[in-house]
Amino acid sequence: MNTLTQLPALDDYKAVSPTEIEAFRKNGHVLIPAVLNQEEVTAYRGVIASAAARYNEEKRKMEDRDTYGKAFLQIMNLWVVDEDVKKFTLAKRFAKIAADLLGVDNVRIYHDQALFKEPGGGPTPWHQDQYYWPIDTHNTVTLWMPMVDIDVDMGMLTFASGSHTKGYVFDTAISDESETAFDNFVKDNQYNIVRPNHMNAGDATFHYGFTIHNAPGNNSDMMREVMTIIYVADGARITEPKHQYQIADHAKWLKGLPVGSEVSSELNPLVL
């Protein structure tokens, strides 16, 4: 049943404090509590879990997957195929926080993705999100929101604070190789490793696209249900893809728009 008319609206704004903005820009990440209240979390958790289950294409047993496959179930751009998820992904509340943290007037969607880490799911290796994106700005941010209460044992997102200032570090996709390369890089640069001990459902972290991050495995008996949204500052332009993953992103999320043109396909709507 379509629940669109029953879902809470998420178009009011939540103020971001100067302290939160400063922390985000200095560290490359910030946790903002209670972005959704309990009623809103309850409503949208069911919507997202249902859509993720319908569109999940991972059918292999855990032991048959590689490191990336063991890390999480990844279901992308649910907003395009589900009208209820669309209301979540295009929420002005989230986008205004993203824009305020970046210090820009408006943001566009790059894509959303459900990241469900199964009980017994493996660790997510160190990586940079923006490795995959052929765009010309550092003004990108990922919202990462658990839809259930989580702690470290369930796979808490973990950041190398300050690492976003280095920009594009390695030509390495998320993998065992990226884990080793970035682990050495993080240690060599003596970055402070930060992760919350606990997040309530509806809390959210926001991190720059170049912030190095990872997550431990899920050692609990519960699914770690997380929804993410990637935002790009309005006015960002498409760059020449550097490798096969950016070629794929250019075609899939940017609809093959010409290099040099603005990120503005029908999959990249303005949100505010």
Token digits for 122? Answer: 């493996």
Cα separation, 73 vs 115, whole angstroms? 6
Q: pLDDT band at 5, cuts 50/70/90?
A: low
Question: What tens digit of pLDDT does each residue of 210-240 get?
Answer: 999 999 999 999 999 999 999 999 999 999 9
If you average pLDDT over every residue of the chain, what do you get? 93
* Residue whose tokens read 């893809």: 241
Predicted pLDDT at 35: 98
Question: In the chain, pLDDT over 90 holds for what percent of residues?
Answer: 85
Distance of CA 38 to the CA centre of its chain: 21
- CB-based contact 79:20 (threshold 8 Å): no
Question: What tens digit of pLDDT does each residue of 107-122 get?
Answer: 999 999 999 998 988 8
Question: What tens digit of pLDDT does each residue of 35-91 get?
Answer: 999 999 999 999 999 999 998 765 656 566 566 554 446 899 999 999 999 999 999
Tell me the torsion sign for CA atoms 142, 145, 146, 147.
Answer: negative
- Closest to 91 measured CA to CA, from 50, 54, 130, 41: 41
User: Rounded mean pLDDT of 205-209?
Assistant: 98
User: Rounded mean pLDDT of 175-185?
Assistant: 93
- Closest to 92 measured CA to CA, from 8, 214, 6, 186: 8
Q: Phi first, then psi: what are they for 267, rounded to 5°?
A: -85, -5
Q: Bigger pLDDT: 133 or 178?
A: 133
Is pLDDT above 60 for 1?
Answer: no
Predicted pLDDT at 56: 77
* Residue whose tokens read 């509590």: 33
Predicted pLDDT at 60: 52
CA atoms within 13 A on the CB side of 90: 14
- Closest to 227 measured CA to CA, from 95, 42, 45, 8: 45
Q: pLDDT band at 250, cuts 50/70/90?
A: very high
Question: How many other CB atoms are found less than 10 A from the CB of residue 54?
Answer: 11
Cα separation, 89 vs 242, whole angstroms? 28
Edge to edge, what strands does the sheet with 73-76 contain? 29-32, 204-208, 140-146, 224-233, 107-117, 73-76
Q: pLDDT band at 199, cuts 50/70/90?
A: very high
Is pLDDT above 90 for 31?
Answer: yes
pTM over 0.85: yes
- CB-based contact 32:202 (threshold 8 Å): no
Question: What tens digit of pLDDT does each residue of 157-176 get?
Answer: 999 999 999 999 999 888 88
| Structural domains in the chain, sorted by start | 28-252 (2.60.120.620)
Question: In the chain, pLDDT over 70 holds for what percent of residues?
Answer: 92
